[in-house]
Structure 1
C-alpha cells in the first residue's frame, strides 16, 4: 500500500512502475551507465568526499561512467525527491530522512538490500549494529542502509558564556547541574549581558516541530505512542515541556522568538542543539566552543538521534549497478571515511579513538559522550506513516502556540484532535 505522505503523484509513479515485480528486477541500461544520487547537503567537503569515493568505484567498474550527486534543499528535500519520482525522473539512489522512513520502507519504493550487502566481498554485514537498522526494515527485510546515525548534542559558545558571567557546560556537568533550567538561566543572562541570542534549536524555526523532540524527550513526552497509533501531544508531560519552552521564548527571551533568527556558527548565540556534522561550519579562527550532551530534563538524562538512510529506488534504470555502488560506498573502508561527518552504524567503528581519526575538530571525550553514548541510549526523532501529512497538520495547529498569550493545553488538545484520524488509520 502506498502511504499518503508520499503524495498522490508518487503513488501513481510507483503504480506505473509495477510494484508487484519490484526489488531490483528491472533491466539494466545497456552501454555506459550513469548513476544519480540525491543528497540534502551541498557542503563542499561532503561532496568532495562523495566524489572521491565515486571516482574510486568507477576506476574499478568502467561500465559506470558517471556518478552524480544531486543536492536538494534541506527544507524541501522530501517534496523535491517525491516530485522527481512522480514525474518519471527518479534518482538511482537517495538519502531518506528518518521521519519518512516508514513510508518509503513499506511502499515498495526501495530495493531490498540484505542479499547484496551480505554477499559483498569484505562488507562485514554482521558488523552493522541491529538497533541502527530497525527503522529501515519491513518484516525483517532491510530497504535502506543507515547512512548516518547521529545523536543531537549542544554546541556552546564559551566566549559568550564567559562574557555573561556564566559557567561553561563542562563545569555544569561536573557539578551535576547540566539541565534545561541551567541552560535557560544562562541563555537569559547572555541576552541581557551581551545582546546575543541564548539557546537555538537548529532547524526548528517554528516550522520543523519534530526538532523539538530534542527538548521534550527530557520531560518524558512523545509525539505519539511507540506503535504510532495514539497522540501524545495532549499528555501532561508534553504540556509541561511546551509550557517551559513557551516561557523561555516569550517571558525570558532566552530563545529567539518567531520571525527572528540567530546563527550559532556565526557567533550569534550561546548554545545550539544540532548534530556533529554541523561542526564543519565552525571557523578555526572564531570563538572558543565545546560540544556536550543534551541537558537533562525532569525525566532525567536522555539522548535523541537523527538518522538518514541510503536506498536504491525500484524505478532506477540501473538498480543492480546502484545497489553495487551502495555496497561499495558503505563498505568498512568507506564507512570509516564517511564517519568524519556521518556517524557510522558499524560496531567496530563506534569507538572514540576510531571516530577521532576522522573528526579532528572533536575530542575523543566529546565523541564518546555525545556520539557513542547517544547512539547506545538515544531515541529516534518522531516518524510515522503519513508523515508528510502529519507534518503539515501539526505545524499548522502549533502556529497558535507561538503567540505570547497562547492557551497551551488547548493548542495541544487541538493537535491531537487534528491528527487522531490519521494515527487511527
Structure 2
C-alpha cells in the first residue's frame, strides 16, 4: 500500500532488511545427526545475514538434544519467497514449516495451506501463547484457529533522532507523548539553508537547504494520527475510507512537510543528492527520520561512537489520536506436513525464547513474546537505541493491512500508483485519494 518511491525501503523493513542477505536457493542441512531414522523437517525462510546465522545456530543447538529430528533449512531470496513456496506446494514438494510475514500470511491463509496450531497449544503446558503480544497473535488467528506462532512484531513507530543536532540548537529531545504541532516546530528548527535560515524565517531559501529536520515514509501513520482509516474493518474490509476528510488531512500533512514546510526532502531532491536516508542521517545532514526498529543494526555499525542517537514514538495527531502501520513475522506448519508433532516442537524452537533473545540483542526485531520484550535483551538493554522499550507501548496502536485476498495486488496497482503521484505533488491529495478509494471499493464489492 505504498508508492514506488518507498517500496524498496518498506519491503526491506517489513522483511527485516532481507535485501542485505546473501541468499541461496538450495536447501542445506543445519547438522548431520547420527540417527538414520531421524524425522526430516524442512523449513523455508528468508532473512538478512544476521538473521540466518541466528536461525541456524538456534536449530543446530536444538538438534543436539533432539536427535530424532533432522532439520533442513531452505533459505529463499525475499523477492521470490512467496512464489517459490507456492510453486513447491503446487508441485508436491512443499516445506513443512514456513516463515510468514503478517501480510504474506494472508496469501497462505486464502490458499488454505496452514495447519491449525490451537490443538498443540491446548495440550502443550510448556508454551503459552498468552505470553505474546495479543495484537500479532490476533493477526495470525482466524475463525478460532491459531495458524502461525509469532516471532517478532514491528510497529512503524520509530522516530530516529540525532542527539548532537538537538544539542547544537539547544532543543530538548523528543518525548513519546509529543504531538504533531510540537513535531512540526522541532522539524522547522532543525531545518536550515546554506545561510543558516530556517523555514518561516525571512530569506530562507528552500532550494539551498543544507540540513533537513525530518524524513518519513509511512503516510498511513499520518492518516491514523488524524483520525482516518484505510478501510472500515481491517479483518473484514468492505469499504475503503481513504477518500474521507480525516484521511485527506493526514496525507496532506505528510505532503506538506516537503512542499509547504520544507522540513523534509522531496523525492526528486533525494535522487539529485545521490544519497539515501541512512546516509543523510549518518552524515548528520538529517536530524530525524521515521522507520521501524530494523534500521538499528546498520546504524549501530555505521555510526559507532560518531554521535549519540535514540528513538521516540511517532507523534500524536490532533485530539491525541495515534496509530501505526506494522509488520511482524512468525512460523506456520503447512497442512501437507507429514510429521506435524515433530514440526510443532521445531516451531517452538524457532519462535522460542533463545531465538527471540538473540534477535532482540542485535536490535533487528522486537520480540513478539512480551516477557522477552520487557526484559534485559530489549527494554532494559543498554545498547542503542535506549528508548526502544517505547515500542512495547506502541504495539497497542498498530493497524495491520486489510485482511483480503486481493489487497496486496490492489495496493500495488492502485494505491502505489496514485501515492507516487501524490508524494511527488503531481496531483492534489484529495483527487488522488478519492480515486484510490473508488478503485479499491470496486474490488471490495466483489464477492
Query: Is the TM value for this pair above 0.5?
Result: yes
CA contact (8 A) 1:306 1:380 kept: no
C-alpha separation in 1, matches of 2:195 and 2:321: 28
Q: How many residues align?
A: 380
Shift in Å, 1:321: 3.5
Q: Cα gap change, 1:157/1:191 in structure 2, threshold over 3 Å: closer, same or farther?
A: farther
Question: Which secondary structure state, in structure 2, belongs to the residue aligned with residue 272 of structure 1?
Answer: strand
Matches within 5 A, 1:52-63: 52-63=57-68
Q: Deviations over 1:117-167 (max 9, x none)?
A: 34345223443343331111111110011221233211112234445x362
1:275 aligns with 2:292: yes
Q: Cα gap change, 1:362/1:407 in structure 2, threshold over 3 Å: closer, same or farther?
A: closer
Q: Cα gap change, 1:389/1:175 in structure 2, threshold over 3 Å: closer, same or farther?
A: closer
1:150 aligns with 2:154: yes
CA contact (8 A) 2:309 2:384 kept: no
Shift in Å, 1:99: 2.8
CA RMSD of aligned residues (A): 3.2
CA contact (8 A) 1:179 1:296 kept: no
1:239 aligns with 2:248: yes
Partner in structure 2 of residue 207 of structure 1: none
Shift in Å, 1:406: 2.0
Shift in Å, 1:420: 0.6
2:392 to 341, 347, 372: 372
Q: Deviations over 1:292-338 (max 9, x none)?
A: 11112224252424322321233456554433211122234544444
Shift in Å, 1:47: 2.3
Question: Which secondary structure state, in structure 1, belongs to the residue aligned with residue 328 of structure 2?
Answer: strand
CA contact (8 A) 1:221 1:232 kept: yes
Partner in structure 1 of residue 132 of structure 2: 128
2:260 to 251, 256, 259: 251
1:93 aligns with 2:100: no
1:400 aligns with 2:421: yes
C-alpha separation in 2, matches of 1:176 and 1:242: 16
Shift in Å, 1:220: 1.2
CA contact (8 A) 2:224 2:321 kept: no
Q: Cα gap change, 1:234/1:222 in structure 2, threshold over 3 Å: closer, same or farther?
A: same
C-alpha separation in 2, matches of 1:389 and 1:307: 20
1:411 aligns with 2:400: no
Q: Which has the higher helix share?
A: 1
C-alpha separation in 2, matches of 1:402 and 1:316: 45
1:43 to 46, 49, 74: 49
Worse overlay, 227-236 or 179-188 = 179-188
CA contact (8 A) 1:200 1:273 kept: yes
C-alpha separation in 2, matches of 1:150 and 1:404: 29
CA contact (8 A) 1:197 1:262 kept: no
C-alpha separation in 2, matches of 1:42 and 1:173: 30
Q: Cα gap change, 1:182/1:110 in structure 2, threshold over 3 Å: closer, same or farther?
A: farther
1:345 to 351, 356, 368: 368
Shift in Å, 1:79: 5.1
CA contact (8 A) 2:248 2:430 kept: yes
Q: Which runs of 5+ in 2 are unaligned?
A: 1-35, 197-208, 271-275
Q: Cα gap change, 1:145/1:253 in structure 2, threshold over 3 Å: closer, same or farther?
A: same
Worse overlay, 85-94 or 294-303 = 85-94
Normalising by the residue count of structure 2, what TM-score does the alignment of the two structures yield? 0.74
CA contact (8 A) 2:177 2:313 kept: no
Q: Cα gap change, 1:277/1:262 in structure 2, threshold over 3 Å: closer, same or farther?
A: closer
C-alpha separation in 1, matches of 2:165 and 2:267: 23
Normalising by the residue count of structure 1, what TM-score does the alignment of the two structures yield? 0.77
Q: Which runs of 5+ in 1 are unaligned?
A: 1-28, 205-210
1:110 aligns with 2:111: no
1:262 aligns with 2:277: yes
Q: Deviations over 1:348-397 (max 9, x none)?
A: 3342556345663343xx144x222112x312232321222122221123
1:181 aligns with 2:184: yes
C-alpha separation in 2, matches of 1:424 and 1:328: 42
C-alpha separation in 2, matches of 1:177 and 1:418: 30
Worse overlay, 84-93 or 410-419 = 84-93
CA contact (8 A) 1:92 1:316 kept: yes
Shift in Å, 1:233: 0.9
CA contact (8 A) 1:148 1:343 kept: yes
